């Protein structure tokens, strides 16, 4: 088993494996178990330090799937990947039963877009199994978050939310050193909100936890470039390089090989 690094100085790549038919970029490509496992192994070969496996789309407007369907999609993939690799595995879910079964199958991280709010039992699962947890900011739910997102002070409100969630997790028995924070690019944010978050990402370092950033091929890049998802790689790389200069630690991406090359150059220039 590879060690899970959760310090606040390192830069790691988290490769995305969506076992869904409707994710915004790669929906349907890795819906079958064997395709998903092979893709995960390929991402690891290309330089991913973590593999993030999800069975429910969180794209804007997405509708929830049943617990049973999510389990059917993700557990065989996690089991298959764990049999063939010791790479840290993250399960992208807000459902405690899915998280528990995923951990038992070999997952090391729970990536919860609701930051422990949608399923009250989730905090107990994370505490019991002593895994890491990603606490993400989201205004609304995937089905409603882009209807009319608004803030009085987007940076302060997200910072205060993440601080409260970190404090909540710590009070409820989750070790501080196992917590990762994510400002939630694209989750209940307009273009100007996303740009402000990335421009001032260093502010979130005051929480003294690793910062995960997910910009890969997202709609704000498409808005800037007026390009569809399949043509947003260069915009993704630009946003990622600027993010690591601002303190990002974990980069959640679809295109591991290309991002890894860009990150290595950026790290050399930064002296990291």
Catalytically active residues, by annotation: 218, 252
Instruction: Indicate the pLDDT class of residue 29, thresholds 50, 70 and 90.
Output: low
- Confidence (pLDDT) at 57: 83
What is the overall mean pLDDT for the chain? 93
Average pLDDT over residues 162-177: 98
Instruction: Indicate the pLDDT class of residue 3, thresholds 50, 70 and 90.
Output: confident
pTM of the model: 0.94
Q: Any alpha helices (H) in the chain, and if so which ranges?
A: 33-46, 67-84, 96-105, 122-129, 154-171, 191-199, 219-225, 233-245, 256-270
- Confidence (pLDDT) at 24: 47
- Confidence (pLDDT) at 26: 52
Model confidence at 145: pLDDT above 90 = no
Give the Cβ contact number of residue 121 at 10 Å: 13
Average pLDDT over residues 39-54: 97
Element (H, E) at 50: strand 50-54
Question: What end-to-end distance do the CA atoms of the chain give, in Å?
Answer: 25
* Four-residue CA torsion sign, 135, 138, 144, 145: negative
Quick check: helix, strand or coil at residue 224? helix
Quick check: helix, strand or coil at residue 96? helix
Burial class (CB in 10 A: 0-12, 13-18, 19+), 128: exposed
For the stretch 75-103, pLDDT in tens is: 999 999 999 999 999 999 999 999 999 99
Rounded CA separation 70/57 (Å): 10
For the stretch 195-234, pLDDT in tens is: 999 999 999 999 999 999 999 999 999 999 999 999 999 9
Pairing between strand 132-136 and 212-213?
unpaired
**Domain-wise residue ranges, the chain:** 12-270
Using alpha carbons, list the distances in angstroms from residue 86 to 14, 33, 91, 252, 256. 14, 18, 15, 19, 18
- Confidence (pLDDT) at 142: 78
What percent of the chain is modeled with pLDDT above 90?
Answer: 85
Among 137, 132, 200, which Cα is nearest to 164's?
137
Question: Are the beta carbons of 34 and 80 closer than 8 angstroms?
Answer: yes
How is the beta sheet containing 12-18 ordered, strand by strand? Answer: 179-182, 132-136, 109-112, 89-92, 50-54, 12-18, 250-253, 212-213
Rounded CA separation 194/96 (Å): 29
Give the architecture (CATH level 2) of 12-270.
Alpha-Beta Barrel (3.20)
């Amino acid at each position: 088993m590879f060690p899970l690094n959760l310090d606040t100085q390192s830069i790691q790549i988290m490769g995305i494996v969506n076992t869904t038919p409707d994710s915004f970029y790669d929906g349907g490509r890795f819906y079958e178990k064997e395709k998903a496992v092979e893709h995960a192994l390929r991402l690891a070969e290309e330089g991913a330090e973590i593999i993030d496996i999800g069975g429910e789309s969180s794209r804007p407007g997405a509708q929830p799937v049943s617990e049973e369907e999510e389990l059917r999609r993700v557990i065989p993939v996690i089991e298959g990947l764990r049999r063939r690799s010791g790479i840290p595995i993250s399960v992208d879910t807000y459902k405690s039963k899915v998280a528990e079964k995923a951990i038992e199958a070999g997952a090391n991280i729970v990536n919860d877009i609701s930051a422990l709010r949608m399923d009250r039992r989730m905090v107990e699962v994370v505490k019991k199994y002593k895994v890491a947890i990603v606490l993400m900011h989201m205004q609304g739910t995937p089905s409603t978050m882009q209807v009319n997102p608004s803030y009085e002070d987007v940076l302060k409100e997200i910072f205060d939310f993440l601080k409260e969630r970190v404090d909540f997790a710590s009070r409820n028995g989750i070790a501080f050193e196992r917590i990762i924070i994510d400002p939630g690019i694209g989750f209940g944010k307009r273009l100007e909100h996303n740009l402000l978050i990335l421009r001032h990402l260093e502010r979130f370092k005051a929480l003294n936890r690793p910062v995960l950033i997910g910009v890969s091929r997202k709609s704000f890049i498409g808005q800037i470039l007026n390009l569809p998802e399949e043509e947003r790689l260069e915009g993704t790389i630009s946003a990622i390089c600027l993010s690591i200069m601002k303190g990002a630690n974990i980069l959640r991406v679809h295109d591991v090989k290309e991002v890894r090359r860009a990150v290595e150059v950026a790290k050399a220039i930064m002296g990291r």
